């Protein structure tokens, strides 16, 4: 049996397209090398690609979150403004409706002070016809409520005098400032009262040309309403208390 001989690896200079070979037993051979893996055969992503994708996704999420938050804030602000306008419109309509149907009793149906207004007018239609025409007072209560107050009529069945009925129409009110506009008037033979705003009104059976109502809200309340400027009118049938019909 022959002796085993270990192969000796001899460096060979590649000439032309020859590769480094191994000499076995004194003879040189060039076995083919295994083919290298190509990039086209890989199906995954590199770390750099994943980082870029995560960065882009994060920016998209941040943009969508900011847009959604701004949309919700805008919706809330619009809802608050709508509620404010609805409240302003309801108060304005109520005051105009009351002051447009002043009734005159005994030659007087209107008197005004800087912070309180009293007139004879028609209560809302829900009230019974017997008490539709009453002396109504516009004032601010101690609780900060802009309210309408009137005293129901005394009946034969009532043992005690009726208590004033107070109906609040607006909350968080610190006070009101009233003004009454009067046309120029001739007082005496040589004196004329100029037209302008007055702080009080007690002019017999006459009513002012316009009434200005300024509402001061409580501290911290964000509402700032414009002044109400209303032209009072004497209307309705004094005997039945019905509202004037529209022509």
For residue range 176-218, what is the model confidence (pLDDT) as tens digits?
A: 999 999 888 766 676 777 888 999 988 667 888 899 999 999 9
Q: Domain ranges for the chain, please list them.
A: 96-230
C-alpha 125 chain-centroid distance:
31
Average confidence (pLDDT) over 10-34: 52
Task: Give the pLDDT score at 238.
Answer: 39
Top-confidence residue, 189 or 48: 48
Task: Give the pLDDT score at 13.
Answer: 55
Task: Read off the DSSP letter of residue 159.
Answer: S
Considering only 23-32, 116-125, 144-153, which range has the smallest mean pLDDT?
Answer: 23-32
Top-confidence residue, 218 or 6: 218
Q: What is the percent of the chain where pLDDT is above 90?
A: 19
Helix, strand and coil percent figures for the chain, each rounded to 5: 25, 30, 45
Task: Give the pLDDT score at 2.
Answer: 57
Task: Give the pLDDT score at 246.
Answer: 38
What is the spatial distance between Cα 155 and Cα 97, in angstroms, rounded to a whole number? 28
- Closest Cα partner for 121 from 136, 106, 137, 111? 136
The H or E element that residue 210 is part of is strand 210-217
Task: Give the pLDDT score at 173.
Answer: 93
Mean pLDDT taken over the chain: 75
Count of CB atoms situated within 10 Å of the CB of 181: 16
Task: Give the pLDDT score at 108.
Answer: 62
Cα dist from 161 to 86, 122, 141, 156, whole Å: 38, 22, 21, 10
Task: Give the pLDDT score at 82.
Answer: 76
Where does the pLDDT of residue 242 fall: very low under 50, low under 70, confident under 90, or very high at 90 and above? very low
Considering only 39-43, 133-137, 207-211, which range has the smallest mean pLDDT?
Answer: 39-43
| Structural contact between residues 241 and 132, judged by C-beta atoms closer than 8 angstroms | yes
Tokens of 22: 């191994």
Task: Give the pLDDT score at 241.
Answer: 37
For residue range 58-105, what is the model confidence (pLDDT) as tens digits?
A: 888 888 888 888 888 877 777 777 777 788 888 888 888 888 888 776
What is the spatial distance between Cα 20 and Cα 28, in angstroms, rounded to a whole number? 9
* 159 pLDDT above the threshold of 70: no
Where does the pLDDT of residue 156 fall: very low under 50, low under 70, confident under 90, or very high at 90 and above? low
Cα dist from 26 to 1, 21, 103, whole Å: 19, 12, 136
Tokens of 186: 């001739």
| Structural contact between residues 148 and 167, judged by C-beta atoms closer than 8 angstroms | yes
Task: Give the pLDDT score at 187.
Answer: 66
What is the spatial distance between Cα 94 and Cα 169, in angstroms, rounded to a whole number? 9
């Amino acid at each position: 049996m022959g002796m085993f001989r270990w192969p000796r690896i001899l460096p060979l200079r590649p000439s032309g397209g020859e590769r480094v070979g191994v000499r076995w037993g004194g003879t040189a051979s060039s076995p083919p090398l295994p083919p290298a893996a190509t990039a086209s055969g890989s199906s995954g992503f590199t770390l750099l690609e994943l980082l870029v994708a995560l960065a882009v996704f994060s920016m998209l999420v941040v943009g969508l979150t900011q847009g959604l938050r701004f949309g919700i804030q805008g919706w809330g602000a619009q809802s608050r403004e709508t509620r404010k306008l609805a409240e302003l419109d309801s108060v304005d309509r109520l005051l105009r409706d009351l002051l447009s149907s002043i009734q005159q009793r005994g030659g007087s149906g209107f008197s005004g002070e800087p912070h309180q207004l009293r007139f004879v007018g028609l209560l809302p239609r829900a009230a019974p016809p017997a008490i539709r025409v009453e002396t109504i007072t516009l004032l601010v209560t101690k609780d900060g409520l802009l309210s309408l107050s009137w005293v129901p009529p005394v009946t034969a069945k009532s043992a005690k005098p009726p208590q004033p009925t107070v109906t609040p129409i607006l909350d968080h009110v610190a006070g009101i400032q009233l003004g009454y506009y009067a046309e120029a008037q001739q007082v005496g033979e040589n004196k004329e009262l100029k037209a302008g705003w007055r702080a009080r009104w007690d002019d017999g059976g006459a009513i002012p040309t316009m009434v200005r109502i300024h509402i001061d809200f409580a501290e911290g309340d964000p509402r700032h309403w414009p002044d109400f400027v209303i032209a009072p009118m004497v209307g309705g049938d004094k005997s039945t208390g019905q509202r004037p019909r529209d022509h």
